């Protein structure tokens, strides 16, 4: 059955609720150090001497770091402290730990909704308890680290909300017969120098990520480190969003948002590889499972989500799928 288009006010309300909840999604670097221990080797070319058998994935100690896309906001069961982190026992780190057979005492998930790179090195006030600096969970014994961070540093959710507001105001202009913009959100963020304000934030987030990766290496020199990218939020064809978003966001602005997410993931890849960590692409595997896909296909919820779920965040299918992608990278 075709889905009914959501009204503009519902979309804007959903996005505003997301901002108030403090959720996340996700240039030069100081991360110029040597490789982390256990970085996945490249595959041998045809005719070349076969590479050694890949090192088996570690079975712990494993530490998971990250924001709400890692924590699994609003997905049952909600576990751990503080409660304000909205950390799920069914998020991808928990599923990865189970898939690797990591003993419960060898697994620590300290991810927290709303986290930025600053919350990796300093305590985070969640509004319902304080989450200690996430990097404090690391030690010299740690053998596996997954890190999903950067979306909040780049202000990506605020950009999504701003786009909804800009398009709403543009629609009001049209209603009173004023000239409408083709891409009001892109216009809002334009800096006039061929870039935009979002890109500047992404670049700055990359600088901070580079320093974080070096700190992880210092604390856990024997750990294999994997930087987890953000899943695809928007479809390649903006028209496929009409049943979900209606005409609340202009097609060119949906393209703008998709472009910004690609830049965010590209930044994560660049800085992960510069630091000798492994970047895990989840955008490619999640193509076709974006927020505008059918309810039985989507891995990310739309601005007006299914009952009880967080808007513009992975659902249970999304967390399970990401865990499969991470396990494949670990075993590759």
Q: What is the pLDDT of residue 81?
A: 94
Q: What is the pLDDT of residue 168?
A: 60
State yes or no: is 86 an active-site residue.
Answer: no
User: Choosing from 21, 68, 94, 220, which is the catalytic residue?
Assistant: 68
Nearby residues of 175 by Cβ (< 8 Å), 6 or more positions away: none
> Is 51 annotated as catalytic?
no
| pLDDT for position 18 | 40
142-196 per-position pLDDT tens digit = 999 999 999 999 887 777 777 766 656 655 444 445 544 556 677 777 766 656 7
Name the pLDDT band for 51 (thresholds 50, 70, 90): low
Pairing, β 62-66 against β 107-109? parallel
Give me the catalytic one of 21, 271, 313, 323.
313
Residue-level pLDDT at 318: 98
CB atoms within 10 A of CB 6: 18
- Give the residue, 77 or 4, on which the prediction is more confident: 77
Pick from 47-61, 90-104, 238-252 the range whose average pLDDT is largest. Answer: 90-104
pLDDT tens-digit readout, 199-248: 888 999 999 999 999 999 999 999 999 999 999 998 888 888 878 877 66
| pLDDT (tens digit per residue) in 292-323 | 999 999 999 998 899 999 999 999 999 999 99
CATH no., domain 8-35+58-331: 3.40.50.1110
Q: In this predicted structure, what is the pLDDT of residue 321?
A: 98
Cα separations in angstroms, 73 against 107, 114, 161:
19, 10, 18
Mean pLDDT over residues 59-70, rounded?
96
pLDDT band at 32 (very low <50, low <70, confident <90, very high): very low
């Amino acid at each position: 059955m075709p889905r009914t288009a959501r009204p503009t006010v519902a979309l804007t309300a959903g996005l505003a609720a997301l901002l108030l909840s403090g959720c996340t999604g996700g240039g030069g670097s100081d991360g110029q150090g040597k490789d982390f221990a256990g970085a996945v080797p490249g595959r041998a070319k045809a005719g070349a001497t076969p590479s050694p058998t890949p090192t088996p994935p570690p079975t712990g100690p494993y530490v998971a770091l990250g924001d709400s896309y890692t924590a699994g906001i609003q997905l049952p069961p909600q576990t751990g402290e503080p409660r304000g982190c909205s950390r799920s026992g069914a998020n991808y780190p928990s599923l990865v730990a189970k898939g690797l057979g990591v003993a419960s005492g060898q697994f620590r998930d300290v991810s927290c909704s709303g986290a930025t790179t600053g919350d990796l090195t300093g305590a985070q006030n969640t509004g319902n308890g304080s989450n200690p600096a996430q990097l404090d969970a690391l030690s010299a014994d740690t053998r596996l680290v997954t890190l999903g961070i950067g979306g909040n540093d780049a202000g990506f959710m605020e950009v999504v909300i701003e786009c909804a507001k800009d398009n709403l105001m543009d629609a009001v202009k049209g209603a009173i017969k004023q000239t409408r913009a083709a891409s009001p959100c892109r216009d809002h963020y334009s800096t006039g120098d061929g870039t935009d304000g979002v890109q500047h934030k992404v670049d700055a987030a990359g600088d901070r990520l580079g320093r974080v990766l070096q700190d992880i290496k210092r604390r856990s020199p024997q750990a294999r480190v994997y930087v987890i990218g953000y899943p695809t939020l928007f479809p390649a064809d903006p028209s496929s969003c009409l049943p979900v978003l209606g005409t609340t966001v202009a097609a060119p602005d949906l393209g703008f948002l998709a472009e910004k997410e690609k830049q965010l993931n590209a930044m994560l890849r660049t800085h992960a590889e510069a630091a000798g960590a492994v970047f895990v692409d989840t955008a490619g595997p999640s193509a076709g499972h974006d927020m505008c896909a059918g309810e039985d296909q989507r891995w990310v919820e739309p601005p007006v989500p299914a009952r009880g779920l967080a808007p513009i965040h992975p659902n249970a299918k999304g967390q399970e799928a990401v865990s499969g992608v991470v396990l494949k990278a670990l075993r590759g």
